[in-house]
Amino acid sequence: MTDEFFSAALDDLREKGLLREPRVFTACDGRTITLSGKKYLLFCSNDYLGLSQDARIVRAVEEGLAKYGFGSGGSRLISGTRTAHEKLERAIAQYLRAESSVLFGTGYGANSGAIPALAGKGDVIFADKLNHASIIDGCLLSKAEFVRYPHADMGALERLLSKTRCTGRRWIVTDGLFSMDGDLAPLDVVCGLAKKYDAGVYLDDAHAFGVLGEGGRGTASVFGVEGKIDVTVGTLGKAAGGAGAFATGSKKMTDYLVNKARTYIFSTAIPPAVAEGDLKAVEILAESGDRRKSLLSATSDVNAEMRKRGLARVGESYIIPLVVGSADKAVQFAGAFLEAGIFIQAVRPPAVAEGSARLRLTLSSAQLPDDRTALLSAVDKLFDGRSA
């Protein structure tokens, strides 16, 4: 194949305003980034509690490197498992009050491996339309029938559950806190429907893990349905500030994933030093009430300010989408924010639906009150009376 194909495809993306390139930060301290020698306030990170820069975690990783060296040298079932992985799995299960947990390399790998392991031919997966790409890919990789319901529409979910014939098992699969819209799945209703229609519940709590609910235990805790979720997936790459991911549930379920999830079986285990860092992060999450409080208080302040400006959406969380419409417009807004000293990425299709490109603004406990004042004054200047 020649480069002509790639050139044409890239030109096409450029014309549609959809060409992407990673921005390279020469420095990042969780609150600010440096880009081409200039410092900007960071308002689009998933490091919601600022733990990516926590000195206790950095030290744990350094000690892990000294103890284990760098790589794990193999997949978990061949030669990649160290005590660090096992300790981390126990700590996650304990933190989430689950019987057991199993690690994956990434949240993407957890969803794309666990879902096809859990659902197969004859089964039906009922999935929220706005679920994360890794869930969608997991559903597509499974041999199950894949039925999508309109976002958070529990009436539609019930209609689909009642009318879709299923000879095997039913699964309801949903994000907890939706990554691009910042609203919550109504998990109490989801669990009620799951009971009524004898379905399993698979929750991806990537964005709520460590932050929402009692002790940061996530969306199930917010809705009082801990114990009613069959599988909870989370990533250690967001509020935990590290890397890696997990699925929790019963011991039988995690043993099953160890034997059936291809992204667990056929992929190199995360470096043990990273597992040590993640372990420290989970310990810190368990006692991070103050950080959570400060983030949630900033969340309610900023959302109130957005509401005053007619910019708030239905949900209210530390993920605040400013929907502007076309991809080009979102890129222009991101450029204007940058000129105002604020780094927010434009989120464009296919990450969000056509016509709903947005600035995905996120808050972190690492930000200072002055940072949020600077953000709001930039919003005033850029949106100038226009609703998003």
Stretch of 3-11, 92-100, 104-112, 366-374 contacting ligand PLP, by CB under 6 A: 104-112
Member of 31, 132, 348, 358 binding ligand PLP (CB under 6 A) = 132
According to DSSP, residue 376 is labeled H
| 106 scored as a contact of ligand PLP (CB under 6 A) | yes
Among 72, 179, 221, 263, binds ligand PLP (CB under 6 A): 179
Alpha helix stretches (DSSP H) within the chain: 3-15, 55-68, 83-95, 107-118, 133-141, 154-163, 187-196, 219-222, 251-260, 262-265, 272-286, 289-308, 327-339, 369-383
The answer to whether 240 and 205 are in contact (CB under 8 A) is: no
Contacting residue, 47, 123, 145, 175, with ligand PLP by CB under 6 A: 175
Task: Tell me how far apart the alpha carbons of residues 80 and 82 are, in angstroms, rounded to a whole number.
Answer: 7
Q: Which residue has the tokens 């495809």?
A: 9
Single out the segment in contact with ligand PLP by CB under 6 A; choices: 5-13, 18-26, 200-208, 314-322.
Answer: 200-208
Q: How far is it, in rounded angstroms, from Cα 386 to Cα 265?
A: 51
Complete DSSP assignment for 7-60:
HHHHHHHHHTT--------SEE-SSEEEETTEEEEE-S-S-TTSGGG-HHHHHH
Q: Which stretch binds ligand PLP (CB under 6 A): 6-14, 102-110, 153-161, 289-297?
A: 102-110
Binding mask 240-259 for ligand PLP (x = CB under 6 A): -----x--------------
Where does this chain touch ligand PLP (CB under 6 A) — which range of 61-69, 106-114, 193-201, 365-373? 106-114
Gap between the Cα atoms of 103 and 130, Å rounded: 25
381 is catalytic: no
Among 219, 221, 232, 235, which residue sits at the site for ligand PLP (rule: CB under 6 A)?
235
Among 179, 221, 288, 364, the one annotated catalytic = 179
Give yes or no: 207 in active site: yes
Binding mask 260-299 for ligand PLP (x = CB under 6 A): ----------------------------------------
Cis omega (within 30 of 0) for bond into 150 = no
Give the nearer residue to ligand PLP in terms of CB position, either 209 or 337: 209
Q: Yes or no: say if 305 and 289 are a contact pair by the CB < 8 Å rule.
A: no
CA distance 210 to 94: 13
Q: Which of 124, 206, 211, 375 binds ligand PLP (CB under 6 A)?
A: 206
Reported residue count of the chain is 388
Mark whether 179 is an active-site residue: yes
Q: Minimum distance between the CB of residue 45 and ligand PLP, rounded to whole angstroms?
A: 12
Q: Does 112 bind ligand PLP (CB under 6 A)?
A: no
DSSP conformation class of 309: T
Query: Is 128 an interacting residue with respect to ligand PLP (CB under 6 A)?
Result: no
State the Cα–Cα distance between residues 53 and 296, nearest whole angstrom. 20
Instruction: Determine which residue in the list 47, 123, 183, 204 makes contact with ligand PLP, applying CB under 6 A.
Output: 204
Active centre residues (catalytic): 179, 207, 238
For ligand PLP, the binding residues (CB under 6 A) are 106-108, 111, 132, 134, 175, 179, 204, 206-207, 235, 237, 245
